[in-house]
Amino acid sequence: MIPTGSHHSQARDGSLAGVGPSTGSHHRNPTPYSLGDSSASATRITPGNALRPEDIALAAAEGTAHPREAVAEYALRLGDDALILAQRLGHWISRGPELEEDVALGNIALDQLGHARSFLTYAGAAWGKSEDDLAYYRREPEFRSAHLFEQPNGDFAVTIARQFIAASYQYLLYRELTRSSDPMLAAIAGKAVKEVDYHLDHSTQWVLRLAGGTEESNRRMIAGLELMWPFVGELFEDDPLIAEVGDAGVVPSSLKEEFDRATAAVLAEAGVEVPAHPMATGGGRHGRHSEHLGYLLAEMQVLAREYPGASW
């Protein structure tokens, strides 16, 4: 169903002629089996095999990936969440609290962007649109992201609080979505759940450290959680689309209990209370967004819209 594996024909670690380092032939050989210890290396690089947005676009072009309308609308929601979060996280690169964390947040942003591209490409297949058509040429009310993902980065604790909620939610969601009756959604979720598992671990580690570090970090972590928690509610709201999607999707409310239990366990270990604020009114799934999204879209879309129809 999904083509993988054979499309990496280009020499991945080659460089422009004559300027690449000579590193010995075994470095260039992505042989998947052991060649004995003489080939042990810490720099052997391979692209790996996984479902890529390009594979989905190809399947869409060939007509083998064609979601029904409701499934496409559903994929759009998941794709927009990931896209907006990736856009937010991308801003951290070169601004992290330590260089190692720049790299970590960069990896998470890239994972989210990958999920966004997959979901948007698949959604677009229903309407003859590309991922870029959807990302760059929709207006604000046409986006389907939840308010949580739109929230500004704030300080590192605010970003970690947003990450902790987002990853906790996405982990449960994607885990269930791997059983989707829609094979493409199941395949995208199969890749995404493993990556989000790490995002959850990353944010959990930081919740523990910030909450249990210094007085200042504890204060900031609590403030971050207080700021972000009201946006939890929207993530678990059901609506008529969910019923239409049926067993191709996941019923959001069905994840709430486990979300509450899992997040409460981490926060208990961190010694902080689960914020008790009332939940904010959402609306993102229906195009009613936070005040922040417009600015984010203006920045994200500006160049593409200056050159409509251009190729990059």
Partner 1 sequence: MAENQPVDDAGQANFDAVIAKDSRIEPKDWMPADYRHALVRQMSQHAHSEIIGMQPEANWITRAPSLKRKAILMAKVQDEAGHGLYLYSATETLGTTRDEMTEALLAGKARYSSIFNYPTVSWADMGAIGWMVDGAAITNQVPLCRASYGPYARAMVRICKEESFHQRQGFEILLELSHGTPGQKAMAQDAVNRWYAPSLMMFGPPDADSPNTSKSMAWNIKRFGNDELRSRFVGMLAEQVKVLELELPDPDIRFNEDTKSWDYGPLDWAEFKEVLAGRGPCNAQRMERRRAAHDDGAWVREAAAAYAAKQSASNDREAA
Partner 2 sequence: MGTGEVWPLWEVFVRSNRGLSHVHAGSLHAPDSAMALRNARDLYTRRNEGVSIWVVPSDAIAASDPDSKGSFFESPQGKDYRHATYYVKSEGVKHL
Applying CB under 8 A, the residues found at the interface with partner 1 are 13-16, 18-23, 27, 43, 45, 53, 83, 86-87, 90-91, 93-103, 106-107, 109-110, 113-114, 116-117, 120, 131-132, 135-136, 155-156, 208-210, 212-214, 216-217, 220, 299-300, 302-304, 307, 310-312
- Total residues in contact with partner 2, by rule CB under 8 A: 25
Instruction: Select from 102-110, 145-153, 256-264, 299-307 the region that touches partner 2 (CB under 8 A).
Output: 102-110
**Residues in 204-233 at the binding interface with partner 2, rule: CB under 8 A:** 205, 209
Question: Residues 153 to 212: which contact partner 2 by CB under 8 A?
Answer: 198, 201-202, 205, 209
| Nearest residue (CB) to partner 2, 106 versus 246 | 106
**What string of H, E and C letters represents the secondary structure of the chain?**
CCCCCCCCCCCCCCCCCCCCCCCCHHHHCCCCCCCCHHHCCCCCCCCCCCCCHHHHHHHHHCCCCCCCHHHHHHHHHHHHHHHHHHHHHHCCCCCCCCHHHHHHHHHHHHHHHHHHHHHHHHHHCCCCCCHHHHHHHCCHHHCCCCHHHHCCCCCHHHHHHHHHHHHHHHHHHHHHHCCCCCHHHHHHHHHHHHHHHHHHHHHHHHHHHHHCCCHHHHHHHHHHHHHHHHHHHHHCCCCHHHHHHHHHCCCHHHHHHHHHHHHHHHHHHHCCCCCCCCCCCCCHHHCCCCCCHHHHHHHHHHHHHHCCCCCC
Please tell me whether residue 20 binds partner 2 under the rule CB under 8 A. no
276 touches, from partner 2, partner 1, none (C-beta below 5 to 8 Å by class):
none
116 binds, among partner 2, partner 1, none (CB under 5 to 8 A by kind): partner 1
Binding partner 2 (rule: CB under 8 A), the pick from 1, 40, 61, 264 is: 40
Q: Is residue 147 within 8 Å of 136, Cβ to Cβ?
A: no
Question: Is 46 near partner 2 (CB under 8 A)?
Answer: yes
Closest CB 86 distance from partner 1, rounded Å: 8
The interface partner of residue 201, options being partner 1, partner 2, none and the CB cut-off 5 to 8 Å by kind, is partner 2
> Which of 139, 232, 178, 149 minimizes the C-alpha distance to 51?
178
Which of 10, 22, 33, 311 lies at the binding interface for partner 2 (CB under 8 A)?
Answer: 33
Spatial distance between the Cα atoms of 226 and 128, rounded to a whole number of angstroms: 42
Contact set for partner 2, span 48-67 (CB under 8 A): 48
**Residue 196 interacts with, from partner 2, partner 1, none (CB under 5-8 Å by kind):** none
Q: Closer to partner 1 by CB, 86 or 196: give it.
A: 86
| Contact criterion met (CB below 8 Å) for 206 and 160 | yes
Give the one entry of partner 2, partner 1, none that residue 47 binds, where binding means its C-beta sits below a cut-off of 5 to 8 angstroms depending on kind: partner 2
> Would you tell me which residues interact with partner 2 (CB under 8 A)?
32-34, 36-37, 39-48, 98, 100, 103-104, 107, 198, 201-202, 205, 209
